[in-house]
A and B are shown apart, each in its own frame.
Chain A
Amino acid sequence: MSAPLIDIQGLSISLRTRDGLKRVVSDVSFTVAPGEALGIVGESGSGKTLSMLSLLQLLPPGAVAHAHRALYDGRDLLGQSRLQMSGIRGREIAFVFQDSLTALNPVITIGRQITEVLRLHFSLSAADAQQRTAELLAKVGIPDPSLRMRQYPHEFSGGMRQRVCIAMALAGEPRILIADEPTTALDVTVQAEIVNLIQQLQRDSGLTVIWVTHDLALLARIADRVIVMYGGRVMEDAAARDLFEAPRHPYAAALLSSVRHDAAPRVPATLAAAQAVSAPAAAGCPFTPRCPEAHDRCRSSAPPLLNVADGTRVACWARDRAPPGSVAS
């Protein structure tokens, strides 16, 4: 059992609002093993994107992050200086953002946006950087790379643009790729292509991938482990197969059942229609209002994330004990 590449324990993020500090992510813990494909699923407002951003110290101004532990390869991510962070961003951990159009600088050619990564992290000459950029673009499936390198983001279709972003993220040859809803804005066929692309890259180079999404069906295909988040907390953390076969947390179960019945891989309307999750209960379990198994204890205190089976952790008072027949730790 090799040491985890990412080890997060007790991550909390608060936003400075007009009414004071508001906690939006509480006590998030998870690990990522090298070469693993981790999926983080949750509806909008669940805190998944913020949690990932905090790892690279990319939180918006006014947001503060704390953690008992936030280690990448043994290094404390939250404590890195700006200079140290520059060495990690792009080079060790890379990010692919959801909206490829706004993520790219509209007045700079995409070629230049990639070559600058190469020249920054590898000190390549201009010519070498151009060469490598063309190779990267070809690798992600962009036809005629030397021509398209000189074009601007608005000249690409959504799918092509996202490929460009992926190429840009891979330019630094990172060990971890964090993909934040990379396919949400794309149509289904293009989605599949992007997913296959990343999977292939993962197979080829042993890349560790963290997928952030609300698309369960997607994770079913590609994730090794899945973390389910709600209201800024981790609800369940299990191997993908275990989660999909037998979800323990009421929220995870609800998500899965709707997916099976509807075949629409989105968060079910009945669950999502309720009040915005952006105001998680300070004290209790955030899922309480919508949980079929809620009782008083859920309202007053948030359940801790506990091992209920080998490799599965759940945060639920109703799951305090392991289900009959399995081994409790």
Chain B
Amino acid sequence: MDFWRLLFRAPQARNGLIMLAFVVGAALAAPWLAPFSPMHVDPGARLLPPLTPAAESASTYFLGTDSVGRDVLSRLLYGARLSLTVGMLAVLLSTAFGTMVGALSGYFGGWIDDFSAWLIDVQLSFPFLLLALFLLGALGGGTAAVVLILALGTWVNYARIVRAQILSIKNQGYVEAARVTGAGAPRVLFVHVLPNTLSPICVVASFSMAQAILTEAGLSFLGVGLDPSTPSWGTMLNDGRDYLLNAWWIAAMPGLAIGFTVLGVTLLGEGLRDLLDASGPR
């Protein structure tokens, strides 16, 4: 696949990929890398600054401890797992849903297309965070709800791309030709349309991932996202808000982690997009 070779050559995409790989690796290796359990509460070790050595065990609180004595670094590593998982699930869900809607709109056109366009307009007229808050309030909280909400935030992009792709293919007569040979709609869609949309979808997926991570942070920060006791970067930010003055590291570290991850994903996405622009079909 020349595509992957090109991807590795492009410095931007390569750096993004490396950064992302680093974060994913750290998340996967959390059980081995974390010096402490992320849930381990130690009232005697509250609000310790970074690089404070621990009293009992031999290791150090590399990034300090939070308001109930939990090690920030360990929570950060486990938090990566949760934040990344939530993000990826959200992206998968939105890709599936968006692609389906886009495909139906593009293929059948007519009122389906008009209706989904109107629906998209309505959703976009709603400030997304507000919609998220609203729905979360209605659905209760929990991880599943958060994933659903995050998916809601980005499905529109996929729908648009897939729809545009189908329309352009329709104009080229593939659809007629395929129909003449007896192929049904699903076959046409899978064989002709999807391969072409794969690359732009990957680009959108990268940006969606970035958006999902940031949104999850925002929601958890407001207290309506993931369960506050579970370690996610968003909940850590929420924890840290009240201790800004005397323990800045509680809020600073997850923020940096988010920034690093989102940067990596964004670079990857931009690199992919540049590649697409350069080598795409004219």
A–B proximity contact (CB within 8 A): no
